[in-house]
């Protein structure tokens, strides 16, 4: 083990000699025809590219530095905007000599920078998860990529470089280019770069002429050897994805500023370790300069300053600033200080000023947990891809800020930059607004597998691994939000990662390093598995002694694909029970990766894998796993995530007398910025309310609060207490009165769930060969003799049941993405058949009670080895009680069912929905904590949520009663002998059901039918939330094969106008 650092050092020395040799050789070729084909050489990933440094801009003075807007500097020139552009579909067709100053480009297109090619009409967007997106062209054979189809984009632009830049060092910056590119200036080849998610800078001083027009040209390859380590689960898109600009520096300038914060003396006092680097730290000219280092607070008041001579690198590389009792940075308290580095000449003139933001915080691993500032924090995180539905992988600042706001509004406190470094502005936002960041290298070779072929085991691929890991640290080391480095994702585990880990730990001892495949090895500081069940997590903590001494944080969990994130409460009940041995995790993932598209039919859809090209590689909608849709509208599961991630929790002490406990789960903030709105709810109605402030609860402390309500003695069946915690004032991105936490506590009582039906009126029964007709003065109901189901239901002239449909049993739902991933659309198929195929065995009619007709139907369900009993009771008011009983033959091996219930199709005019149950958003057996029991009014239209791919949607649990009416007030009211699951949609189940496999259907293609499909279910199997490729809903949320029994009553709701019309 002791030899490895030495070997690594020797390897780097060898690489330096190799680079120098290449530099001499290729400089001689700079004016010649074509530069070398580096794009298929895994050991040459850059040529003439500047060493990585932290993200900063050097300004002319302090005033500009404090504004920190490069556009205001005279030494910044943006190259964003239109360039001349030529796209070809293979390297052999790329335009020869296009970099020359006399090349004629007048027939080329104007094309924006930054911009993704494929969303702008150049090339085909391809989405794959594991496989390489070019494996349909060639068998993967690193480092070789396709030649017959490998698009190349060539860019040209004339740029006027200011005359004031004469004598300066001039640099060309590319924020992110996928996947490899060459650069020319004024006809001369400058350099080459790979790594599509980190910047590349080139010193072009010797190639340009300030005060004149200069030609900048570059050429981008869609696929290169670097593509073999950029095999992430995302759209594979080429182009320029971040800003491009020029900047000028003085010949003597600060090359890099490194700032490492620390807390000492029991986290009371702050220390900043600052290191300055110059292009040549031994440059004798530095003796004539000095650096002034200032520390400013958030109001720009100077707190500390130090002047450092630059004659001795041991001094300027070891600058120490100490501040007593500073504000501490955390995701809860993101207080930032500003460090100004001013370079001054021997006359005291300021040459340049570099601003950097920092925060005092300390990250540690101790006692088997991850600590920030002495606290074992809970990670309430998400994974996030850089994705915009209109611009692809070019993300605007406005979109980034929107993502931060949504995360903060929904109690998300951490983000993993899956699976690559993000735009530098993202880290600024995380610093400013408070998000813990796992910063991940752009490194995944999933398509090569994790065995002997893994590139992590290949010596020739070490440089690809090392450069991506090392450059990540060099760019982002100053950000206080970055608390963990990630070496990459799903790239196997081999010697290359072992070497990278050792270097990273030596380079930055202040942060832990993680890598999921190395979780159980010495080469990951954190045990960070993917997609365990809650039981798996408990087993690890209790029994896996080999690796359970590390912090246990899920790097990916709760796969948020489609209608999902059931059992999220189970995850967090488990995490909180075993805290601090469990500390949370990162949901996969934040946003659906889908594009805005208008189809040939004119439908507006979110397009996913397989929606472009013909027979292209695709993993279909597996890239649509977001808590938010592509346009950032929230999916329903986000509400459950917000609820489980909340930092304030309410517990009963004595609810009969208004006594509660409020626990503050924050680690660094009290509840002085929050007030409590409480409501006393009786049978869904607010009968009392109030406001509590202050809430005196320190971090990790509990406040006992008395609420001054008095329970009514009579008039209500059940009472609840609703508690809503809201912000007192607007702060940063969160508005005043924003709800940050909520709880509902049951005080007493229960809703009387009765399905009794009394005789009423006079009924006449007529039996024909086709029907059993039951009629009275106001009622006309007909049962079909062949299937035994209600086919006609009319009261007071109002058709309740839409012809030709019937009220019939249902055991099926349109499969969710989780269902399809587990193959349940096949494994449970017999329950779909049982919903459509029943054998009527027996019919019995009982008219012995005046004003009441009873019918009894017995069925065989041969597909599931069961029998079904349906009993009806109907009175002269048109009320109907339905009793459904399933008799299961448990000696047979029959899988679970999706639902146990019935479905009826109503007129589309029954579009107003009122219910007393959980809401207002959809909720399910395993995802309902955020949905409080209450009285709600909505529309049937609003019950359908447009998941990217059509599937089950709109369920409401714990429903005491539901009413569906038309605009005139006609409709039905339903209640059960137990709480029900209710769904109402303007779609039939078949509209949302793709069958046995997916067919690239989209919610935007659906057209509502002129009907209202109402499902009345005893229960529905949970939607699941472990993963979307095999996991079933957790056992406690499954409808296993056994006997089931429930009853419900249907009462017609007839408006006075309709009733008067019938009587007259």
Pick left, alpha or beta for residue 129 (phi over 0 → left; psi -120 to 50 → alpha; otherwise beta): alpha
Query: Residue 12 — very low, low, confident or very high, per pLDDT cuts 50/70/90?
Result: very low
- With beta carbons less than 8 A apart as the criterion, state whether 900 and 886 touch: yes
Q: What is residue 33's predicted lDDT score, i.e. its pLDDT? A: 59
Task: Give 295's strand partners.
Answer: 304, 339
Cα–Cα distance for residue pair 720/1049, rounded to 1 Å: 26
Strand partners, 371: 364
In tens, the pLDDT along 834-860 reads: 999 999 999 999 999 999 999 999 999
Higher pLDDT, 52 or 17: 52
Picking from 313-317, 375-379, 427-431, 1009-1013, which range would have the lowest pLDDT averaged per residue? 313-317
Residues 874, 781 contacting (CB under 8 angstroms): yes
Q: Is the pLDDT of residue 1059 over 90?
A: no
Region for 64 from its dihedrals, namely left if φ exceeds 0, alpha if ψ lies in -120 to 50, beta otherwise: alpha
Question: Where do the domains of the chain lie, and which CATH numbers do they carry?
Answer: 31-50+72-249 (2.60.120.260), 256-358 (2.60.40.10), 369-596+624-641 (3.20.20.80), 646-749 (2.60.40.10), 764-1062 (2.70.98.10)
Instruction: Express each pLDDT in 235-270 by its tens digit.
Output: 999 999 999 999 999 999 999 999 999 999 999 999
Q: Is the pLDDT of residue 714 over 80?
A: yes
Got the DSSP string for 116-159?
Answer: ESGGGTSS--EEESSS-TTTTTS--BTTB--SSS--EEEEEEEE
Residue 120 has which token pair?
A: 């702008």
Task: Find the catalytic residue in 352, 556, 665, 952.
Answer: 556
In 980-1008, which positions are buried (b, 16+ CB within 10 angstroms) versus exposed (e)? bbbbbbbbebebbbbeeebebbbbbebee
Structure tokens at 696: 């005196």
Count Cβ atoms within 10 A of the Cβ of residue 717 and give its class: 0-12 exposed, 13-18 middle, 19 or more buried: middle
pLDDT at 697 over 70: yes
Tokens 């570059």 label which residue?
218
**Tens digits of residue pLDDT in 150-187:** 999 999 999 999 999 999 999 999 999 999 999 999 99
Average pLDDT of the chain to the nearest whole number: 95
Output the DSSP codes for 216-241. EEEEEES--GGGGGB--SEEE--EE-
- Is the pLDDT confidence value at 14 over 50? no
Annotated active-site residue 556? The verdict is yes
Point out which residues pair with 438 in neighbouring strands. Answer: 416, 484
Q: What distance separates the 2 farthest-apart alpha carbons in the chain?
A: 113
For 353-384, letters b (16+ CB in 10 Å) and e give bbbbbbbbbbbbbeebbbbbbebbbbbbbbbb
Backbone angles phi, psi at 825, to 5 degrees: -65, -20
pLDDT at 1: 37
State the DSSP code for 426. H
Per annotation, catalytic residue among 490, 514, 665, 921? 490
Residue 603 scores a pLDDT above 70: yes
CB 868 within 8 A of CB 887: yes
Query: Distance between CA 791 and CA 780 in Å, rounded?
Result: 11
What is the DSSP pairing of strand 379-383 with strand 584-587?
Answer: parallel
- How far apart CA 931 and CA 922 sit, in angstroms, is 8
Q: pLDDT tens digits for 95-134?
A: 999 999 999 999 999 999 999 999 999 999 999 999 999 9
**Cα(130)–Cα(140) distance, integer angstroms:** 12
Q: What is the pLDDT of residue 1055?
A: 85
* Spatial distance between the Cα atoms of 563 and 353, rounded to a whole number of angstroms: 51
- Ramachandran sector of residue 123 (left: φ over 0; alpha: ψ -120 to 50; beta: rest): left
Q: In what order do the strands lie in the sheet with 46-47?
A: 46-47, 188-194, 180-185, 213-221, 152-160, 81-88, 109-113
DSSP state letter for 515: -
Contact criterion met (CB below 8 Å) for 884 and 1046:
yes
Q: Is the dihedral of CA 281, 285, 290, 296 positive or negative?
A: negative
In sequence order, which ranges of 810-957 are alpha helices (DSSP H)?
817-821, 824-827, 829-836
Predicted confidence band at 1062 (pLDDT cuts at 50, 70, 90)?
A: very low
What pLDDT digit, counting tens, does each position of 845-901 carry? 999 999 999 999 999 999 999 999 999 999 999 999 999 999 999 999 999 999 999
Q: How far apart are CA 1017 and CA 981, in angstroms?
A: 5
Q: Name residue 637's beta-bridge partners.
A: none
d(CA 164, CA 488): 43
* Token pair of 2 as six digits: 């002791």
Closest by Cα among 901, 902, 929, 916 to 1025 = 929
CB 402 within 8 A of CB 632: yes
Q: Whole-angstrom Cα distance, residue 691 to residue 703?
A: 15
Contacts of 119 (CB under 8 A, 6+ apart): 125, 237, 390, 391, 392, 595
Nearest to 416 by CA among 427, 428, 400: 427
Say what the pLDDT of residue 539 is.
Answer: 96
- Contact indicator for 806, 906 with CB cutoff of 8 Å: no
Q: Which helix (H) or strand (E) holds 18?
A: helix 3-28
Judging by DSSP bridges, how do beta strands 482-486 and 513-514 pair with one another? parallel
572-579: which pairs have CB atoms within 8 A and are 24 or more residues apart? 572/644, 572/645, 573/534, 574/534, 574/537, 574/538, 575/378, 575/537, 578/537, 578/538, 578/541, 579/376, 579/378
**166 has catalytic annotation:** no
Instruction: Classify residue 467 as exposed, middle or buried by CB count within 10 Å of its CB (0-12, 13-18, 19+).
Output: buried
């Amino acid at each position: 083990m002791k030899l490895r650092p030495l070997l690594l050092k020797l390897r780097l020395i060898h690489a330096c000699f190799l680079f120098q040799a290449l530099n001499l050789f290729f400089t001689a070729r700079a004016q010649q025809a074509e530069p070398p084909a580096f794009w298929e050489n895994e050991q040459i990933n850059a040529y003439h590219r500047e060493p990585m440094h932290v993200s900063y801009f050097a300004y002319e003075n302090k005033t500009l530095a404090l504004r920190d807007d490069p556009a205001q500097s005279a030494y910044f020139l943006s190259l964003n905007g239109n360039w001349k552009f030529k796209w070809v579909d293979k390297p052999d067709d790329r335009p020869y000599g296009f970099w020359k100053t006399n090349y004629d480009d007048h027939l080329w297109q104007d094309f924006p920078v930054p911009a993704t090619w494929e969303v702008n009409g150049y090339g085909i967007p391809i989405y794959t998860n594991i496989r390489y997106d070019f494996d349909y062209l060639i068998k993967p054979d690193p480092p070789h990529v396709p030649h017959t189809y490998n698009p190349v984009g060539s860019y040209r632009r004339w740029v006027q470089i200011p005359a004031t830049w004469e004598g300066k060092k001039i640099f060309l910056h590319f924020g992110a280019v996928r996947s490899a590119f060459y650069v020319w200036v004024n006809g001369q080849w400058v350099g080459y770069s790979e790594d599509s998610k980190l910047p590349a800078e080139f010193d072009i001083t010797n190639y340009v002429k300030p005060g004149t027009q200069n030609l900048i040209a570059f050429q981008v390859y869609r696929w290169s050897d670097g593509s073999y380590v950029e095999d992430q689960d995302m759209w594979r898109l080429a182009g320029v994805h971040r800003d491009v600009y020029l900047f000028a520096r003085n010949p003597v300038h600060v090359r890099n500023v490194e700032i490492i914060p620390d807390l000492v003396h029991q986290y009371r006092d702050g220390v900043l370790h600052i290191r300055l680097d110059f292009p040549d730290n031994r440059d004798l000219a530095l003796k004539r300069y000095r650096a002034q280092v200032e520390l400013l607070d958030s109001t720009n008041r100077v707190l500390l300053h130090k002047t450092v001579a630059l004659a001795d690198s041991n001094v300027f590389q070891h600058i120490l600033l100490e501040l007593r009792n500073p504000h501490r940075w955390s995701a809860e308290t993101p207080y930032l200080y500003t460090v100004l580095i001013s370079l001054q000449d021997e006359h005291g003139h300021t040459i340049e000023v570099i601003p950097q933001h920092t925060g005092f915080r300390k990250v540690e691993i101790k006692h088997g947990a991850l600590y920030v500032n002495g606290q074992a924090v809970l990670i309430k995180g998400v994974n996030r891809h850089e994705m915009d539905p209109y611009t692809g992988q070019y993300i605007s600042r406005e979109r980034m800020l929107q993502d931060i706001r949504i995360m903060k509004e929904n109690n998300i406190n951490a983000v993993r930059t899956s699976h690559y470094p993000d735009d530098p502005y993202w880290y600024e936002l995380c610093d400013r607004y408070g998000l813990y960041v796992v910063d991940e290298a752009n490194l995944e070779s999933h398509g090569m597998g994790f065995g002997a072929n893994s590139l992590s085991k290949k010596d020739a691929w070490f440089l690809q691994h090392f450069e991506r890991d090392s450059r990540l640290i060099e760019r982002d080391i100053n950000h206080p939000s970055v608390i963990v480095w990630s070496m990459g994702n799903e790239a196997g585990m081999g010697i290359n990662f072992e070497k990278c880990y050792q270097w990273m730990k030596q380079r930055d001892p202040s942060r832990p390093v993680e890598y999921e495949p190395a979780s159980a090895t010495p080469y990951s500081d954190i045990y960070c598995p993917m997609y365990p069940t809650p039981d798996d997590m408990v087993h690890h903590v209790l029994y896996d002694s080999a690796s359970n001494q590390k912090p246990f944080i899920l790097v990916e969990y709760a796969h948020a694909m489609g209608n999902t994130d059931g059992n999220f409460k189970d995850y967090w009940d488990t995490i909180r029970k075993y805290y601090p041995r469990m500390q949370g995790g990162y949901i996969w993932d934040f946003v659906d990766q889908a594009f805005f598209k208008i189809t040939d039919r004119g439908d507006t859809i979110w397009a996913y894998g397989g929606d472009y090209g013909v027979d292209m590689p695709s993993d279909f909608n597996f890239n649509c796993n977001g808590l938010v849709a592509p346009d950032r509208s929230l999916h329903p599961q986000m509400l459950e995530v917000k609820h489980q991630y909340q930092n304030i929790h309410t517990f009963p002490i004595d609810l009969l007398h208004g006594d509660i406990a409020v626990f503050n789960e924050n680690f660094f903030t009290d509840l002085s910025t929050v007030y409590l709105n409480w409501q006393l709810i009786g049978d869904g109605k607010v009968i009392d309310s109030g406001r509590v402030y202050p809430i005196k609860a320190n971090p990790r402390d509990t406040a006992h609060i008395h609420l001054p309500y008095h329970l009514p003695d009579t008039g209500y069946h059940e009472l609840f207490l609703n508690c809503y915690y809201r912000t007192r004032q607007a702060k940063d991105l969160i508005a005043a009165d924003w709800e940050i936490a909520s709880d509902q506590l049951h005080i007493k009582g229960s809703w009387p769930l009765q399905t009794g039906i009394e005789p009423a009126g006079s009924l006449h029964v007529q039996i024909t060969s086709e029907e059993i007709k039951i009629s009275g003065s106001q009622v006309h109901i007909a049962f079909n003799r062949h299937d035994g189901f209600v086919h006609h239901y009319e009261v007071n002239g109002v058709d309740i049941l839409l012809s030709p449909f019937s009220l019939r049993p249902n055991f099926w739902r349109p499969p969710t993405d989780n269902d399809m991933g587990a193959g349940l659309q096949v494994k449970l198929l017999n329950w779909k058949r049982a919903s459509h195929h029943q054998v009527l065995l027996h019919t019995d009619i009982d008219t012995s009670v005046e004003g009441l007709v009873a019918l009894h139907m017995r069925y065989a369900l041969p597909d599931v080895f069961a029998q079904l009993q349906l009993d009806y009771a109907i009175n002269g008011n048109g009320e109907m009680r339905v009793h459904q009983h399933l008799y299961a033959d448990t000696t047979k091996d029959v899988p679970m069912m999706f639902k146990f219930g019935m479905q009826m199709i109503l007129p589309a005019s029954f579009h107003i929905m009122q219910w007393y149950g959980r809401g207002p958003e959809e909720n399910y057996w395993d995802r309902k904590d955020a949905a409080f029991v209450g009285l709600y009014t909505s529309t049937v239209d609003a019950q359908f949520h447009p998941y990217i791919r059509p599937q089950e949607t709109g369920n409401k649990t714990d429903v005491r009663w539901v009413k569906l009416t038309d605009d005139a007030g006609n409709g039905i009211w339903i209640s059960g002998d137990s709480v029900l699951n209710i769904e109402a949609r303007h779609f039939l189940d078949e509209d949302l059901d793709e069958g046995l496999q997916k067919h690239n259907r989209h919610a935007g293609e659906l057209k509502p039918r002129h009907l209202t499909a109402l499902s009345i279910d005893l229960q529905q199997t949970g939607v699941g939330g472990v993963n979307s490729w095999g996991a079933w809903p957790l056992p406690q949320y499954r409808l296993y094969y056994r006997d089931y029994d429930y009853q419900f009553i249907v009462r017609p709701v007839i408006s006075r106008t309709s009733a008067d019309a019938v009587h007259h």
